[in-house]
């Protein structure tokens, strides 16, 4: 067993981090245990009661002011005053009434001043009824979505077009306009109404001036303070504090932040392990993968702290792994054959898009349509990949620049092509004029044909079995090819062209084979991406996909001269995991900001820059 060398500084840092983790862990566990104990329940109940009294007190003040205004209006009219005099008398009466109400403390009632036993009982009954209703509503909506998912899924095409270039959030908007409340929901809603009426009777004991009409107008405010859909302890606590104006003290802070303390303690333990094993981790993973890996764990921790659905985000990460994996895999043959990062990948993507368009034009759908699109894409990209490889053989040493220019040029050229190609399907064409739409939906063809195949759920995480199996199949086929005679010769030609040529290997031919394979995988990759995303993106959308794929494979541990299948899998998972979790976490931390998009740009371009600096600018001569 290899010994781990740890410096004194590392050891001290580990001890301090573990000590802090233990303190936070103990406080967090104590707070979590108190949430269900009598002390925690009483604190939350008292804040809710005070919130109800504050809301009802506001209604009592309004009722008192309304009565004074009515009396002033009547007196002004009896005195023969006109509209001006009536308005002045009413305004004066309102000002004086509010001042008098504040002086007399009409709307101010402290919990210690009244017996809230009956009020507390009525409040508990109403909260229980509300929670039951919201639980049934969530269950009924989930059942409705499961039964009608394909029919009610809606995504804004304009947003999809903007997001595709950066592989932004692929969340679908579910249209629930057709959802109808179930009988059980109606029954529970009636119970909530009955509980509120019982609560109102207890409120009127404390505020006799309140009428049924005033209490009815306060219903949404009072019920909103008590419970809401998707409630957690933290959200209930925050609402109660804001509405009651009470200072919960240190005990309240511990209750509120207990989950954060406990999760932070777990994160600190992980950090201590990283500090302790820093040297072997850097040696095995490299600095970029270690940093991004730790950042991914931090995002998972923040998602839990911010009450985001971590299981849903991890499910999205698996989907992104499968839908982007083949595109990232297309980088591997290019690196191995010696053309470095194939940033001209849009050449293959265009072939795949044409295959998808032909599938729609011919009215094909399902797995047959998907396979047809793949076959057409493979044939087109094989031809374009051959000529692309010939071009790169004539420009050896400048492949990185050439591939970038070629990729951008083919995208710009096809912006004209999409306007003149003779497709007739109304699904693809603009309603007026010529040319194809920017965003073309795949609902009627092969949308989610892989995602939904044998998919299942584990601990709330949906596993897109078909999508992952297809990605695994592509990885396996590439792995087999790389171990074939041709694959070994191609790797040798890429590693040391002069030595390979001396042993009789046709280096130019191997470079063309690698370029063709890379381009063909890109064609299949964009079809897989489209079926998972639900749309095909034309015009400028494919322009940056080569950079995103390059970022992922470099993050996985590949270099500009050597790559493995494991680099593809690890890099894609980490890269897409950070993007998937980063955007909702950033938006939750800073609502309305563009920090998530900035994060994506920094990660993707920063990884490429790091890899290029590590390569030292060497070329294979």
pLDDT at 560: 78
Residue 232 pLDDT > 90? no
Q: Give the chain's length.
A: 621
Do residues 470 and 531 lie in contact, with contact meaning Cβ atoms separated by under 8 Å? no
Lowest mean pLDDT among 245-254, 367-376, 601-610: 601-610
Lowest mean pLDDT among 184-193, 257-266, 285-294: 285-294
| End-to-end Cα, the chain, rounded Å | 42
pLDDT at 168: 42
Q: Give the distance, in angstroms, between the CA of residue 335 and the centroid of all CA atoms in the same chain.
A: 31
pLDDT at 443: 84
pLDDT at 161: 39
With bands split at pLDDT 50, 70 and 90, how would you rate the model's confidence at 107? low
pLDDT at 103: 59
Residue 619 pLDDT > 50? no
Residue 229 pLDDT > 70? yes
DSSP letter for each residue of 455-487: -EEETTEEE-HHHHHHHHHHHHHHHHHHTSHHH
Lowest mean pLDDT among 4-8, 249-253, 483-487: 4-8
pLDDT at 514: 92
Within 13 Å of residue 218, how many CA atoms lie on the same side as its CB? 28
pLDDT at 324: 92
Q: What is the mean pLDDT of the chain?
A: 82
Q: Among 240, 199, 248, 215, which residue's Cα sits nearest to residue 58?
A: 215
Question: Residue 110, Cβ neighbours under 10 Å: how many?
Answer: 9
Question: What average pLDDT does range 163-167 have in this prediction?
Answer: 42
pLDDT in tens, 192-226: 889 988 888 888 888 777 777 778 877 888 888 88
pLDDT at 620: 44
CA dihedral sign, ordered 506, 509, 513, 515: positive
pLDDT at 151: 54
pLDDT at 616: 45
pLDDT at 269: 92
pLDDT at 163: 43
pLDDT at 284: 80
Do residues 328 and 568 lie in contact, with contact meaning Cβ atoms separated by under 8 Å? yes
Which of 32-46, 91-105, 212-226 is most confident? 32-46
CA dist 483 → 488, 490, 561, 567, 580 (Å):
6, 10, 18, 17, 34
With bands split at pLDDT 50, 70 and 90, how would you rate the model's confidence at 355? very high
Lowest mean pLDDT among 30-39, 124-133, 205-214, 355-364: 205-214
Fold of 310-614: ABC transporter involved in vitamin B12 uptake, BtuC (1.10.3470)
Residue 153 pLDDT > 70? no
What is the rounded distance in angstroms from the CA atom of residue 526 to the CA atom of residue 324? 8
Residue 236 pLDDT > 50? yes
Q: Among 615, 341, 388, which residue's Cα sits nearest to residue 520?
A: 388
Q: Comparing 68 with 481, which gets the higher pLDDT?
A: 481
pLDDT in tens, 290-337: 888 888 888 888 888 888 888 888 888 899 999 999 999 999 998 888
pLDDT in tens, 492-549: 888 888 888 888 888 889 999 999 999 999 999 999 999 988 888 898 888 888 888 8
With bands split at pLDDT 50, 70 and 90, how would you rate the model's confidence at 614? low
- CB within 8 Å of 315: residues ≥ 6 apart: 460, 461, 462, 463
pLDDT in tens, 338-348: 888 888 889 99
**φ, ψ for residue 211 (rounded to 5)?**
-100, 170
Residue 99 pLDDT > 60? yes
Q: Are strands 173-174 and 153-154 parallel, antiparallel or unpaired?
A: antiparallel
What percent of the chain lies above the pLDDT cut of 70? Answer: 86
Residue 597 pLDDT > 70? no
Residue-range domain boundaries for the chain: 1-109+230-285, 310-614
Question: What average pLDDT does range 102-120 have in this prediction?
Answer: 70
pLDDT in tens, 398-430: 777 788 888 888 988 998 988 888 888 888 888
Q: Among 167, 172, 207, which residue's Cα sits nearest to residue 537?
A: 167
Q: Comparing 91 with 129, which gets the higher pLDDT?
A: 129
Question: What average pLDDT does range 576-583 have in this prediction?
Answer: 83
pLDDT at 354: 93
3-state secondary structure 256-316: HHHHHHHHHHHHHHHHHHHHHCHHHHHHHHCHHHHHHHHHHHHHHHHHHHCCCCHHHHHHH
pLDDT at 607: 64
Q: Give the distance, in angstroms, between the CA of residue 228 and the centroid of all CA atoms in the same chain.
A: 23
Q: Among 466, 540, 591, 531, which residue's Cα sits nearest to residue 170?
A: 531
Residue 136 pLDDT > 80? yes
Q: Comparing 53 with 27, which gets the higher pLDDT?
A: 27
Q: Among 478, 541, 157, 169, which residue's Cα sits nearest to residue 349?
A: 541
């Amino acid at each position: 067993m290899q010994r781990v060398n740890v410096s004194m500084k590392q050891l001290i840092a580990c001890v301090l981090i573990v000590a802090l983790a233990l303190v936070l862990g103990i406080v967090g566990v104590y707070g979590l245990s108190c949430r269900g104990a009598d002390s925690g329940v009483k604190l939350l109940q008292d804040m809710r009661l005070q919130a109800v009294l504050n809301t009802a007190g506001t209604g009592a003040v309004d009722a008192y002011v309304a009565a004074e205004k009515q009396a002033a209006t009547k007196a002004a009219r009896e005195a023969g005053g006109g509209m001006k005099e009536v308005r002045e008398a009413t305004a004066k009466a309102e000002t004086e009434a509010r001042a008098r109400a504040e002086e007399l403390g009409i709307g101010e009632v402290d919990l210690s001043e009244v017996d809230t036993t009956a009020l507390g009982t009525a409040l508990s009954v109403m909260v229980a009824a509300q929670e039951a209703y919201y639980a049934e509503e969530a269950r009924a909506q989930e059942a409705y979505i499961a039964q009608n998912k394909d029919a009610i899924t809606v995504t804004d095409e304009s947003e999809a077009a903007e997001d595709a270039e950066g592989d932004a959030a692929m969340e679908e908007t579910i249209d629930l306009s057709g959802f109808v409340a179930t009988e059980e929901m109606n029954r529970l809603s009636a119970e909530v109404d009955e509980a509120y009426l019982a609560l109102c009777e207890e409120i009127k004991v404390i505020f006799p001036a309140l009428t049924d009409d005033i209490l009815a107008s306060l219903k949404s405010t009072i019920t909103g303070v008590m419970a809401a859909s998707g409630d957690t302890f933290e959200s209930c606590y925050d609402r109660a504090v804001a509405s009651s104006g009470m200072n919960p003290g240190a005990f309240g802070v511990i209750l509120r932040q207990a989950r954060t303390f406990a999760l932070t303690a777990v994160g600190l333990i992980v950090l201590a392990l990283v500090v302790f094993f820093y040297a072997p981790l850097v040696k095995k993973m490299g600095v970029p993968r270690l940093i991004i890996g730790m950042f991914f764990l931090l995002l998972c921790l923040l998602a839990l702290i911010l009450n985001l659905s971590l299981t849903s985000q991890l499910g999205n990460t698996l989907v992104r792994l499968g839908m982007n994996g083949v595109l990232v895999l297309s980088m591997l043959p290019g690196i191995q054959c010696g053309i470095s990062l194939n940033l001209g990948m849009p050449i293959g993507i265009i072939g795949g898009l044409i295959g998808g368009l032909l599938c729609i034009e011919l009215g094909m759908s399902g797995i047959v349509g998907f396979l047809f699109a793949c076959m057409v894409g493979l044939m087109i990209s094989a031809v374009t990949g051959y000529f692309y490889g010939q071009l790169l053989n004539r420009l050896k040493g400048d492949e990185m620049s050439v591939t970038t220019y070629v990729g951008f040029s083919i995208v710009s050229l096809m912006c004209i092509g999409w306007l003149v190609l003779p497709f007739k399907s109304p699904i693809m064409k603009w309603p007026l004029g010529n040319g194809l739409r920017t965003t073309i939906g795949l609902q009627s063809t092969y949308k989610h044909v892989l995602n939904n195949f044998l998919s299942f759920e584990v601990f709330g995480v949906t596993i897109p079995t078909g999508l992952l199996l297809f990605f695994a199949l592509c990885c396996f086929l590439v792995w087999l090819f790389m171990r074939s005679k041709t694959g070994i010769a191609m790797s040798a030609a890429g590693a040391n062209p002069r030595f390979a040529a001396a042993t009789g290997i046709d280096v130019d031919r191997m470079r063309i084979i690698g370029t063709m394979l890379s381009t063909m995988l890109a064609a299949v990759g964009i079809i897989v991406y489209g079926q998972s995303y639900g749309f095909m993106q034309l015009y400028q959308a494919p322009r940056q996909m080569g950079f995103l794929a390059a970022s992922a494979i470099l993050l996985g541990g590949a270099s500009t001269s050597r790559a493995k299948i494991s680099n593809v899998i690890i890099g894609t998972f980490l890269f897409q995991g950070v993007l998937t979790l980063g955007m909702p976490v950033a938006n939750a931390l800073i609502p309305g900001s563009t920090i998530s998009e900035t994060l994506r740009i920094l990660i993707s371009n920063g990884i490429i820059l790091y890899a290029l600096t590590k390569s030292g600018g060497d070329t294979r001569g």
